[in-house]
Structure 1
Amino acid sequence: MSFELYYWDGIQGRGEFVRLALEEAAADYIDVARRPDGMAAMMKLLKSRTEPHIPFAPPFLKDGDLIVSHVANILFYLGPKLGLAPKNEPLRFIANGLQLTITDFVAEVHDTHHPLSTNLYYEDQKEAAKQRAADFITHRIPKFMGHFERVLAQNPQGNKHTVGRGLTYVDLSLFQIVEGLRYAFPRATKDIGKRYPALVALHDAIEQRPNIEKYLTSERRLDFNESGIFRHYPELDQDA
């Protein structure tokens, strides 16, 4: 039975972190919202008054009768099934903690262009966004990226992966973080390889993995755009 991934059509967004894991594992899955009437099916499920354990919002994954919501929770569930989580149980919790930190980082990325309210258009909060983005570039990118760089350097199994010796969903998510930051803040990240060499080496290695390379050049990989989490507004970008 195929996994069913539910997320908004037309954007990578938070759903992309789940897609990367499914694609790397060559898993059988359906990107529901990209099918005819898929968005209607997703909204029907979200608004259901009979479905038990309904999710608050996308992304969520359906595996048979089970619905799993939230990116980190979905990947915690999928990781062992897809061979993308450590076999050692304590390390699986370490991986989950790192993914939750990525979740925090992604929320801060979003708030660079929507610092006041998600109910307002970007144009209605542009001045506040400029201040938020400047602080994000100066303080928050180094805070988070520096942490992940240290995680790689201090992995007792070697610094090619974040947890244990093998590839995990955390590595795939960090690939997406580097991709997204480069799109949204090209000026701020122009020296990212010098500042965070281990992270960029991880990104480059993942980009060359056969299944990921195939996915990135396929129609399934949506382009970044100004409706997703990572948005490029030149007025928000600056040198780091």
Structure 2
Amino acid sequence: MTYELWYWNGIPGRGEFVRLALEAAKTPYRDCTREPGAGQERLLEDMNRVREYPPFAPPYLVVDRMVISQTANILLFLGEKHSLAPADTAGRLWVNQIQLTIADMVVEAHDVHHPIASSLHYEEQKAESLRRAQVFRETRIPKFLHYFERVLIPHEGWLTAGTHWSYADLSLFQLVDGLLHAFPKRMAAVISDYPCLSGLHKRVGALPELQDYFASPRRLPFGDGMFRYYPELDGE
């Protein structure tokens, strides 16, 4: 079975959390809007097809006749289907809990540069972004990172306390990667306070299952997505 992944072309965004899981699991998939001749128009056309359970927005995964949307929901499915999460109910819910918390922080990171509306350009809300960035750097980054550090400490490396990573470990890597890109000064100043989180980021980055992906053009660089670097929004 080859999955169809639908997401905006040209940015990693929320779709990257799904790509990491698919790539690490060596699961065949089509990145549909990145295929030759495809593009955003094809995504909009597919998203607006008449379906019993239509997606609200990308990313979404098409599996036979089933359409699964929302990043955490997609990963919940892949976790059970491809052993990317614990087999027991408590373990699956735990990993999903972490994924939802990651999603919360991703939204807050995005809203730093778009605090008023996604439909407005950054320059149209720059004053509000500067205020939002200070709060995010000083309050929200340490609050979230402290939590992730706290849950990693008793689990000896991976979030599930086992010898194998879960999809939430991959997503936590992507979150830290995005923060390092968007807030390099702030992260350089605080990352040493979170050795377990920093260690997880390095371990996922070195996973043999992901090296081909990281070295390929399938791995999109950060740019105009959820994590954006504006020097004026960063600081120690």
TM-score by length of 2: 0.96
Deviation at 1:84? 0.8
Deviation at 1:24? 0.5
Alignment of 1:1-240 (within 5 A): 1-35=1-35, 36-48=37-49, 50-155=50-155, 159-165=156-162, 166-225=164-223, 227-239=224-236
Of the structure 1 ranges 102-111 and 207-216, higher mean CA displacement relative to structure 2 is found in 207-216
CA contact (8 A) 1:45 1:54 kept: no
Deviation at 1:90? 1.1
After superposition, the C-alpha distances for 1:169-205 in whole angstroms (9 at most, x for unaligned) are: 0000010011100000010011344111101101101
Alpha-carbon separation, structure 1, partners of 2:201 and 2:188: 15
Deviation at 1:167? 0.7
After superposition, the C-alpha distances for 1:11-38 in whole angstroms (9 at most, x for unaligned) are: 0000000000001011100001101224
TM-score by length of 1: 0.95
Residues 56 and 27 (structure 1), Cα distance of their counterparts in 2 relative to 1, 3 Å cut = same
Alpha-carbon separation, structure 2, partners of 1:110 and 1:83: 30
Q: How many residue pairs are counted as aligned between the two chains?
A: 234
Alpha-carbon separation, structure 1, partners of 2:16 and 2:122: 22
Alpha-carbon separation, structure 1, partners of 2:190 and 2:27: 32
Of the structure 1 ranges 91-100 and 207-216, higher mean CA displacement relative to structure 2 is found in 207-216
The runs of 5 or more residues in structure 1 that have no matched partner are none
